[in-house]
Amino acid sequence: MNTQSNAIPESPVESQVIAPAVISPTRRMGWLVRRELWESRSIYIAPLAVAGVFLFGFLISLTHLPAKMRLASTLDSAQQRAVIQQPYMLAAGLLMATGMIVGVFYCLDALYGERRDRSVLFWKSLPVSDLTTVLSKASIPLVVLPLLIVAITITTNTIMLLASSAVLQGSGLPVATVWTEVSWFHLSFILLYHLVVVHGLWHAPFYGWLLMVSSWAKRAPFLWAVLPPLALGIVEKIAFNTSYFADLLLYQLNGGGGMDSANAPHSAPFDMLGHFDPGTLLSTPGLWIGLTVTAAFLAAAAWLRRNREPI
């Protein structure tokens, strides 16, 4: 005799297995970069503050612009171009230096800081690999900061051009000269190339080294990052009377020596930047050797983050 079961059959909704949401690697990386920007606000506050201070000083100096332009008109074309471009190149150089300084101190604190305040225990509990976390931190000085500096520099130079045009127009002087000599589109392209290729790719080994030191040091990461290379250079000089290591660091820091130093003193500032040849730089073995060293540093930083104890 068959007995009727009293069990209530499962509803179709209950019988379905809810699959966990799959987050794409690109989206995960995007959220990690947003986290870095949220936690390290100096990444964008410092360049904005420097640009604001520079703009304030430039606006004050506009009172002397008409006299400066009249004096420049008596010079030859190369000297006139250099005089007009000087404040715009000064702004670009100042913001580039700010970006490098911010990148250095960010890398030194990126992995050391989360071990110091023990927040690394929380972040490591999330389903994100150590390598992905390290790559997201490396993307700040290699990608985010250069693009941010380019955007801030172009905006700053645009405001400077508009303010200069207004002053010259009010003084009855020609405005077209400033726009022609500054060459806004040329400047924007050169800045993008210079910051992304030179500051991004050629300086990558320095940032990789700083991130590795940040994941290893128990205290004073700045000293641990600076003193070993300095000591190595001094020992080489004393022992062998050579400076190959120091020359190698300078070569990498200068972007592979991409500037034609022989022509630089006689060229206008924008023309000096234009001597960078992308094909030559990208085909230089030193660039790819540096990127290989960077990959090794980042892999070591990820391994140290996985195995290093919080401070």
Which has the closest alpha carbon to 105: 211, 231, 229, 250?
211
Domain count across the chain: 1
> Is 17 a domain residue?
no
Q: Tell whether 86 is covered by a domain.
A: yes
Is residue 4 domain-resident?
no
Assess if residue 6 is contained within a domain. Answer: no
In-domain check, residue 233: yes
Beta strands of 16-165 (E only): which ranges?
Answer: none
Q: Do residues 190 and 270 touch, judged by C-beta distance below 8 A?
A: yes
- 3-state SS, residue 309: coil
Evaluate whether residue 293 is within a structural domain: yes
DSSP class per residue in 231-261: HHHHHHHHHHS--HHHHHHHHHHTTTT-S-T
Residues 6+ apart with CB under 8 A from 104: 141, 206, 207, 210
Residue with tokens 């990127």: 291
Q: 115-143 burial, b for 16+ CB within 10 Å, e for fewer? A: bbeeebeeeeeeebebeebbbbbbbbbbe
Q: How far apart are CA 278 and CA 272, in angstroms?
A: 14
140 touches 36 (CB < 8 A): yes
Evaluate whether 304 touches 215 at the Cβ level (below 8 Å): yes
Q: Give the CA-trace dihedral at 7, 12, 14, 19, to 10 degrees.
A: 150
**Structure tokens given for 294:** 């960077």
Q: Answer whether residue 30 is part of any domain.
A: yes
What pTM was computed for the model? 0.81
Number of other residues whose CB lies within 10 A of the CB of residue 25: 8
Contact 244, 236 (CB under 8 A): yes
Concatenate the DSSP letters of all residues of 108-130 into one string. HHHTHHHHHSSTHHHHHTSS--H
Residue-level pLDDT at 206: 94
Residue 169 structural domain: 25-67+74-307
Residue 10 lies in a domain: no
pLDDT in tens, the chain (311 residues): 454 545 555 555 444 555 555 677 788 888 888 888 888 899 999 999 999 999 999 989 888 877 777 777 677 777 777 777 788 888 888 998 999 999 999 999 999 988 888 888 888 888 888 898 999 999 999 999 999 999 999 899 889 888 888 887 777 776 666 666 666 677 777 778 777 777 788 899 999 999 999 999 888 999 999 999 999 999 999 999 889 999 888 888 877 654 443 333 333 434 444 455 667 777 778 888 989 999 999 999 999 988 877 77
pLDDT of 258 reads 47
